[in-house]
A and B are shown apart, each in its own frame.
Chain A
Amino acid sequence: MSILGTRVVRTEDPRLLTVGGTYVDDLRVPELAHAARVTFVRSPLAHALITGIDVSAAKEAPGVVAVLTVADMDDLPPPPPPPEEGAEPPPGSEAAPLPLGGPWAEPLLAVDRVRFVGEPVAMVLTDETYQGEDAAELVSVDYEPLPAVVDFDSGLTSQSLLFPAAGSNVALTIGAADDDAAFDACEVVVEQTIVNQRLAPVPMEGRATAAVWADGKLTVWVSTQNAQITRFILMGAFGLDMAAIRVVAPDVGGAFGAKIGADRDALLVAWAAKHTGRAVRWAETRSENLVGMTHGRAQRQHLKIGGTRDGRILAYRNVVVQDTGAYPRMSGFLPFLTGLMASGPYDIPTVQTAYQVVVTNTTPISAYRGAGRPEATAAVERAVDLFAAEIGMDPGQVRRINLVPPDKFPYSSGGGAVYDTGEYVAVLDQVLAGAGYEELRAEQARRRERGDTLQLGIGLASYVEITAADAAGGETARVVVHDDGTATVYTGSSAHGQGHHTAWAMLLHDELGIPMDDITVLHGDTDLIPFGTGTYASRSLQLGGAAVKVAAGDVKEQARGVAAAMLEASEADLELDTGLGVWQVRGDPASSRTWAEVAAHAGPQGLAADANFQSQPTFPFGTHLAVVEVDTETGKVRLIRHVTADDAGTILNPLLVDGQRHGGIAQGAAQALLEEMVYDPDGNPVTGTLVDYAIVTAAELPSFELLTSETPATSNPLGAKGIGEAGTIGATPAVQNAVIDAVSHLGIRHIDMPATPARVWAAINEATATTGEGL
């Protein structure tokens, strides 16, 4: 029986559970034995001109090795010219979206002007950490404050310019969704402006980097999702050849999209090593992390939905304003994805999208678990519920009427995507049945009838998302079988909690019959794995895993030839017994040869194969149902049940898949109920520590109820789609819809996220004051 599809505990765990992982700050390698500690001096102001920096006092402080400012940055090449339109990306660049350059370019250390609280202004290198904190206090920076641009509207009005040379705070305007004809033909039209609030990713390990410059080679250890992309970024920043840089991603303590490549802080640490000749290391504090690491989401959306009174949706529009923070690091990539997935799993004849990207004096926005797709799903799922409420139809029924039916695949969506495979109605019905939907509605009716303080809310979200959007770029694998019978997998993918080492070993074991204990999986070292893309966009199994399967198949065919020669048989008569892990002439177990014997006989090249698996994106889908209790006297919401069916194609290891779903659900529920990165009108973060920024805890969540659905993908040999982000994409609107559903009998149609007690209470208070209706 194949190991694929079975529950296999992780090979990663024994080490993590006994001595802990080796994260960047845990490295005790000789090269870093006397590394200086980096402490950043960061802007305390959201928007200001820098009129002077005095480092003299800091330089005299105990333990100080160097104090570096922009004046020291005389050894960097000019920024590379922007790529020509339509040009092939350079090797190693892969598919990370490039930031807007030109007048919008982001410096390493701030030059003349700071644009957000937390922007790096100077660096202090000390022998020990505590000395750095003291010395950084002594760096004196003179600022001339400027008016801060903090919200969507001031971003759009451009009264105080972040980039005067650009002449506007609007970095991009794409499309115009203003043709009302399709809506004019509808019996019912609903409009709503909603905010998908700014979130902090908060991986439990913050950003961390260590670097050494020796013998003309830069070695950088960095907490990243992609060592090879990081190397590419370093090449451009320092004008170094690929061979002059080694990037290592050791254990990474979570990332969630916010550690794609390397940001300016990591580049500065590497530069400091090269500039001073001293090994350096940096691990940020959490307070630094909450303002220095990129944030996610931050969209305001204007929604318009129209259809017939019997539940058919005919037209949908989502116009997005993307707050991109102080620097447009992602260009228009996030709202582009929001537009691509705008209509979700629904078959809607007319879909209109447009977006603007505005800069504000806040932390830059980048990918965060879902990256543009949760924003699309949250919007359309709210819109469908608004439409359902308007026509007085059950939201489950409205979904069933409008979901893309199974006979329409591959389906060209109104947003512009081609959905590969799906059983959208089936997962909706599966979840409604699994949750006991009818009984939940009956209980809700009873509580309403009784006027209970604790009202029940039931929220639905049907979703489809895109994973491995850049599948054409592919992912690499190299498989080597050694002459002792063990094997090594070199993967371009880069796990940071997902369990790739277990999954890849399962794939190789299934293909070759080599025991999992004899398989070593290596990732995240550019000296060992020169080419690769890494882990983001839920791409790893369907590309990196498929690459392992392809390379293993190649090794298998090589071994067949070697074994045939050893046994003086024809290749066609050779078979691999994957149960025993031996080669033999068909029907003649006495002829068996072990992998060790075959590998030893393979000659100087050994048994080794490379693969770069390229494919098309896949479209996981599912339905989430959340049940909440809302205390109508206090506005407090409690999530009491969460039932989901998430179909990500063929499942390799249900243990890992369910783990991804659990984590995703928690992050989605947390956005719906708790989390928001808040700035005051002057651009000061008011949620800058974990005391203020509400990460969800175990006490606020129920156990989750997971249902299984598997509709294979057709674009890879594993049948796999991505599962890393689906939980978040589905959970967020399900929980939000549940909160609103709980109070919908009061006439409430919308409450923005997070649905904090204050917000929910205010909505209830306003609704009951308006209608005069009692609770």
Chain B
Amino acid sequence: MTVNGSQVAAEVPDRTLLVHFLREQAGLTGTNVGCDTSSCGACTVLLDGRSVKSCTLLAAQADGRSVVTIEGLADGAGELHPVQRAFRAEHGLQCGFCTPGMVMAAVSLLAENPAPTEEEVRTGLEGNLCRCTGYHNIVRAVLAAAGERETS
């Protein structure tokens, strides 16, 4: 599969989950595992441009497809994605564990709905759990990132 623009190939057992493939075979530990019931969204990545919980897919299901993780979000020159910038400016993260998944979910949300209302952001991120921020600043960050895209 293509991960953050690079080809990654490995022989793995059939049951290998995509999130474990990313962490172990691709060596990208930014994507975290936060539960075992597809509830928390810490493992959210983009698969062919849309957010998926990478614990709900087998690695084999991503064969030949394109995956983007938090490590691949900034551009090659190190310029942060607007959502990354907004999370920092609005203090949308504390311990950082949910953050990679939350950011990827937010990127996907804004791709589908470039100018969401607060309620649409809250509903759109319902599948991603954060225990630190109370979501207040995460919502602010997503709205700020949306505003930045509109004005740019």
Chain A residues with a Cβ under 8 A of chain B: 9-10, 12-14, 16-23, 25-26, 28, 129-130, 202-206, 251-254, 256, 283, 285-287, 496-499, 655-656, 658-659, 662-667, 689-691, 695, 697-699, 701, 703-704, 727
Q: Which residues of A contact B89 (CB under 8 A)?
A: 9
Chain B residues with a Cβ under 8 A of chain A: 13, 15-16, 20, 23, 27, 29-37, 39-40, 42, 70-71, 73-74, 80, 84, 87-89, 91, 93-100, 103, 118, 121-123, 125-140
The distance from the CB of B137 to the nearest CB of chain A, in whole angstroms, is 6
Residue in B97, B103, B126, B129 with the greatest tally of chain A CB atoms within 10 Å: B97
Q: Are A697 and B96 in contact (CB under 8 A)?
A: no
Contacts A285-B36, A703-B118 hold; do A697 and B126 have CB atoms under 8 A apart?
Answer: yes
Q: Are B87 and A13 in contact (CB under 8 A)?
A: yes
A sample of 25 inter-chain contacts (CB < 8 A) reads A12-B96, A13-B87, A16-B99, A18-B73, A18-B84, A21-B96, A26-B29, A129-B20, A204-B34, A253-B32, A253-B95, A253-B96, A283-B33, A285-B35, A286-B40, A496-B95, A659-B137, A667-B134, A689-B36, A690-B37, A698-B121, A698-B123, A698-B138, A701-B134, A704-B134
A658, B132: Cα distance in complex, Å: 12
Q: Which residues of A contact B134 (CB under 8 A)?
A: 662-667, 701, 704, 727
User: Chain B interface mostly helix, strand, loop or mixed?
Assistant: loop
Q: Which residues of B contact A699 (CB under 8 A)?
A: 122-123, 125-126
User: Chain A interface mostly helix, strand, loop or mixed?
Assistant: loop
Q: Are A663 and B87 in contact (CB under 8 A)?
A: no
A12, B94: Cα distance in complex, Å: 9
B74: which of A18, A254, A690 is its contact (CB, 8 Å)? Answer: A18
The distance from the CB of A596 to the nearest CB of chain B, in whole angstroms, is 28
The distance from the CB of A72 to the nearest CB of chain B, in whole angstroms, is 28
Instruction: Name the CB-closest residue of A to B78.
Output: A18
Q: Are B95 and A203 in contact (CB under 8 A)?
A: yes
Q: Which residues of B contact A658 (CB under 8 A)?
A: 91, 137
> Known contacts A130-B15, A204-B130, A253-B95; can you find 5 more A-B pairs with CB under 8 A?
A20-B32, A204-B98, A252-B95, A662-B136, A695-B39
Contacts A691-B39, A698-B139, A704-B134 hold; do A21 and B126 have CB atoms under 8 A apart?
Answer: no
Q: Which residues of A contact B93 (CB under 8 A)?
A: 13, 16-17
Q: Which residues of A contact B80 (CB under 8 A)?
A: 14, 17-18
Q: Which residues of B contact A659 (CB under 8 A)?
A: 91, 94, 132-133, 137
A206, B129: Cα distance in complex, Å: 14
Q: Are A691 and B121 in contact (CB under 8 A)?
A: no
Q: Are A16 and B131 in contact (CB under 8 A)?
A: no
Q: Are A253 and B97 in contact (CB under 8 A)?
A: yes
A704, B137: Cα distance in complex, Å: 10
Q: What 6 A-B pairs have minimum CB-CB distances, sorted nearest first?
A: A253-B97, A20-B30, A666-B134, A497-B95, A497-B94, A16-B96
Instruction: Name the CB-closest residue of A to B13.
Output: A130
